[in-house]
């Protein structure tokens, strides 16, 4: 602000400067309708009080509501002279009397009351309505109920009556009756701070103040922090308790107007949560909500709290609330009941996917489940680490976003087995992540998976998987506008995709290339710490502050690592095979090969080469020499060392089964012997 002393003047001047329908009264902190001359013969409505309650009261000046307002300093009643000047101004415009609408506070009653008496002494017809809608106190004090957000509803009712041409006395009588059917209760996480001062009271971090006023004064009760549902229930219980002297006469079957008011410091997100809880709680009590107003109507500076106002209505009163107004702060709302309205529409049925010729068998489907489970476990374990990395870019939610995706995938897997084909799995995952993951990560993964699924509808060999990676990366770049080197998740995926180009070559090996791809992705993710962000939210942050790897790239590399580890643990070799005959997958993991990870493979897999099973008579042989096994197949030193370290003894049946692989017939029936090719403990053959 420019100054503490001038903040109220500056605020009112700014509002008038931006609203052509308002004018300031020279020499006073008074705002009036700019079309005063059009009110000739009608009742004028003036209200006001201390500043700091914006948009009250100046935001409610307009046709169908207030004629003008008189503002005091922050939380201070306006001067009598300014109130009297406003009364004189509207009287000179030819109005048929003035109604003063005043909140029930001592200073307001005194100053507005004194101005009223002076105006009446001058022959100006003036009446005053004092609004007290506070439902906090169970036993009324001498001062009565405080005036709170319900005052705004009185502005609306009185404005509609005045616009309809009703006389001063009748308006006063009708409005006084409405105040008796209304109540307001506030709750807050803390007090507020008058400019230049400290908060008026302190709350523990686990406490909430119930029944506080709009000037930072303490409430009637302190309660422990609870959920929004529980706090709203407590508020409504308190407001409608018939034993309380300030209760609202609401019972099952009542029709009400609900006002959910932001006291100044709540986000719209929180306000929506409170509104939802209030609607559900009231309707659960059999109360019909005729109208609901949600927003900031009467604040208390930056107070992080909310107030609920209930007004019991009938059809004539509802018509007054629905009447047209030009006041800028009054919300535009539908003139239909909230209760009884259908609030949801059935979602369109999902299109049926065409049959997929690439559907895999049950074993591959189980392997897919294992892959997804490992990915979920990995992402959940990285949540805090990714959030910490992401805080450098501002919001710190990357880990939470990926964990949300992991939990959604787990729920999906619990509902039933995934589809049989890779293309369908990727398509379903893309929809799931778009709906559940959220954020730019959800959109980018959704794009990637949707595009990657398309090539896999026709084939699932290694070149097609490489093409799927290309398609996914292309889609991410097209819509995400990121490029390699921009310090995004694309950096890790791009590095992996470059390595996976080798899958398009004849004789390409699944694990050897995938392992290189994962290592490249991890290296690229780590390298993002030295990059200047060129896309995403991090691009708005100074590069000097970005000294950690990009969390999206770290997450993408971790996903690829998880996929590799599961495939390795399941064992097998995947290669291109003979040109024209398609790929061959050979799993070297019979029930009789019981080696622990990282040396062995799943005991549930079967051993086959060119469709030939290992004969059953080889299943029951005794132990044989580990050295002969290793020498026979020239296995990698890493495997030999590990087996020696684990003091493993290889059964003779295993050795004989593996030896059986040395000689077999090729696709044309010719006998052929192939030299084994070794890679990280897996036994493979160049022709398969």
- 431's tokens: 């929809």
**183 has pLDDT over 50:** yes
**133 has pLDDT over 90:** yes
Summarize the confidence of residues 509-534 as an average pLDDT: 89
Summarize the confidence of residues 230-249 as an average pLDDT: 96
pLDDT band at 481 (very low <50, low <70, confident <90, very high): confident
Burial environment of residue 167 by CB neighbours within 10 A (0 to 12, 13 to 18, 19 or more): middle
Backbone phi, psi, residue 513, to 5°? -75, -40
pTM of the model: 0.66
Backbone phi, psi, residue 207, to 5°? -120, 155
Instruction: Please tell me which of 125-139, 414-428, 647-661 the model is most confident about, judged by mean pLDDT.
Output: 125-139
CB atoms within 10 A of CB 81: 14
Burial environment of residue 486 by CB neighbours within 10 A (0 to 12, 13 to 18, 19 or more): buried
470-479, 519-528, 636-645: the lowest-pLDDT one: 636-645
Spatial CA neighbour of 224 closest among 206, 211, 205: 206
Write down the pLDDT at residue 394.
61
pLDDT band at 86 (very low <50, low <70, confident <90, very high): very high
157-166, 281-290, 529-538: the lowest-pLDDT one: 529-538
Summarize the confidence of residues 401-421 as an average pLDDT: 92
Average pLDDT, the chain: 83
Write down the pLDDT at residue 449.
95
Query: Mind telling me the catalytic residues?
Result: 215
pLDDT band at 153 (very low <50, low <70, confident <90, very high): very high
Task: Compute the distance between CA of residue 45 and CA of residue 152 in angstroms, rounded to an integer.
Answer: 12
56-65, 155-164, 185-194, 362-371: the lowest-pLDDT one: 362-371
Asked if 326 and 64 count as a contact pair (C-beta separation under 8 A), the reply is yes
pLDDT band at 365 (very low <50, low <70, confident <90, very high): confident
pLDDT band at 292 (very low <50, low <70, confident <90, very high): very high
Write down the pLDDT at residue 679.
37
**655 has pLDDT over 70:** no
Write down the pLDDT at residue 615.
38
Write down the pLDDT at residue 604.
33
Write down the pLDDT at residue 590.
34
Write down the pLDDT at residue 430.
94
**21 has pLDDT over 70:** yes
Asked if 131 and 103 count as a contact pair (C-beta separation under 8 A), the reply is yes
80-94, 326-340, 342-356: the lowest-pLDDT one: 342-356
Task: Compute the distance between CA of residue 515 and CA of residue 499 in angstroms, rounded to an integer.
Answer: 9
Task: Compute the distance between CA of residue 546 and CA of residue 552 in angstroms, rounded to an integer.
Answer: 14
Summarize the confidence of residues 327-356 as an average pLDDT: 86
């Amino acid at each position: 602000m420019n100054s503490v002393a001038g903040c109220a003047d500056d605020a009112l001047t700014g509002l008038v400067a931006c609203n052509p329908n308002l004018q300031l009264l020279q020499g006073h902190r008074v705002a009036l309708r700019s079309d005063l001359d059009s009110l000739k013969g009608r009742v004028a409505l003036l209200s006001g009080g201390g500043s700091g309650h914006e948009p009250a009261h100046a935001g409610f000046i307009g046709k169908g509501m207030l004629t003008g307002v008189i503002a005091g300093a922050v939380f201070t009643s306006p001067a009598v002279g300014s109130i009297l000047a406003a009364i004189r101004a509207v009287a000179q415009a030819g109005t048929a009397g003035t109604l003063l609408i005043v909140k029930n506070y001592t200073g307001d009653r005194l100053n507005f009351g004194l101005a009223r008496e002076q105006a009446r002494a001058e022959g100006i017809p003036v009446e005053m309505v004092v609004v007290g809608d506070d439902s906090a106190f169970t036993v009324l004090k001498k001062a009565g109920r405080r005036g709170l957000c319900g005052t705004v509803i009185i502005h609306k009712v009185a404005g509609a009556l005045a616009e309809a041409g009703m006389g001063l006395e009748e308006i006063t009588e009708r409005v006084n009756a409405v105040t008796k059917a209304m109540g307001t209760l506030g709750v807050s996480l803390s007090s507020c701070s008058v400019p230049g001062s400290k908060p008026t009271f302190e709350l523990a971090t686990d406490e909430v103040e119930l029944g506080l006023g709009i000037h930072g004064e303490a409430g009637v009760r302190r309660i422990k922090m609870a959920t929004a549902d529980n706090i709203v229930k407590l508020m409504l219980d308190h407001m409608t308790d018939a034993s309380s002297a300030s209760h609202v006469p609401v019972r099952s079957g009542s029709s009400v107007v609900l006002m959910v008011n932001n006291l100044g410091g709540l986000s719209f997100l929180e306000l929506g949560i409170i509104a939802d809880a209030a609607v559900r709680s009231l309707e659960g009590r059999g109360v019909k909500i005729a109208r609901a107003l949600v927003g900031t109507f009467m604040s208390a500076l930056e107070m992080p709290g909310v107030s609920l106002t209930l007004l019991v209505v009938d059809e004539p009163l509802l018509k007054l609330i629905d009447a047209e107004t030009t006041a800028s702060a009054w919300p535009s709302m539908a003139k239909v009941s909230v209760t009884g309205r259908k609030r949801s529409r059935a979602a369109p049925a999902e299109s049926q996917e065409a049959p997929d010729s690439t559907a895999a068998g049950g074993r591959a489907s189980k392997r897919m489940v294992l892959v997804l489970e490992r990915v979920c476990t990995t992402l959940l374990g990285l949540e805090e680490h990714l959030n910490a990395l992401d805080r450098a870019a501002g919001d710190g939610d990357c880990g939470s976003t990926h964990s949300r995706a992991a939990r959604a995938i787990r729920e999906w897997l619990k509902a039933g087995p995934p589809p049989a084909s890779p293309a369908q799995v990727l398509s379903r995952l893309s929809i799931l992540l778009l709906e559940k993951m959220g954020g730019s990560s959800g959109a980018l993964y959704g794009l990637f998976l949707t595009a990657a699924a398309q090539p896999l509808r026709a084939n699932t060999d290694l070149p097609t998987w490489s093409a799927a990676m290309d398609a996914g990366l292309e889609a991410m770049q097209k819509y995400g506008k990121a490029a390699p080197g921009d310090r995004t998740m694309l950096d890790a995926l791009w590095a992996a995709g470059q390595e996976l180009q080798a899958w398009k070559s004849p004789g390409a090996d699944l694990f050897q290339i995938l392992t290189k791809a994962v290592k490249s992705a991890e290296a690229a993710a780590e390298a993002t710490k030295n990059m200047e962000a060129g896309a995403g939210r991090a691009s708005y942050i100074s590069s000097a502050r970005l000294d950690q790897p990009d969390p999206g790239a770290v997450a993408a590399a971790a996903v690829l690592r998880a996929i590799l580890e599961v495939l390795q643990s399941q064992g097998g070799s995947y290669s291109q095979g003979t040109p024209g005959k398609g790929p061959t997958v050979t799993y070297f993991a019979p029930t009789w090969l019981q080696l622990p990870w990282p040396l062995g493979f799943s005991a549930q897999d079967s051993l086959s080469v060119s469709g030939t099973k290992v004969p059953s008579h080889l299943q029951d042989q005794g132990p044989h020499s580990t050295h002969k096994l290793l020498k026979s197949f020239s296995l990698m030193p890493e495997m030999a060392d590990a087996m020696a370290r684990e003091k493993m003894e290889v059964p003779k049946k295993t050795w004989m089964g593996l030896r059986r692989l040395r000689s077999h017939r090729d696709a044309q029936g010719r006998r052929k012997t192939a030299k084994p090719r070794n890679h990280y403990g897996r036994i493979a053959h160049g022709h398969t």
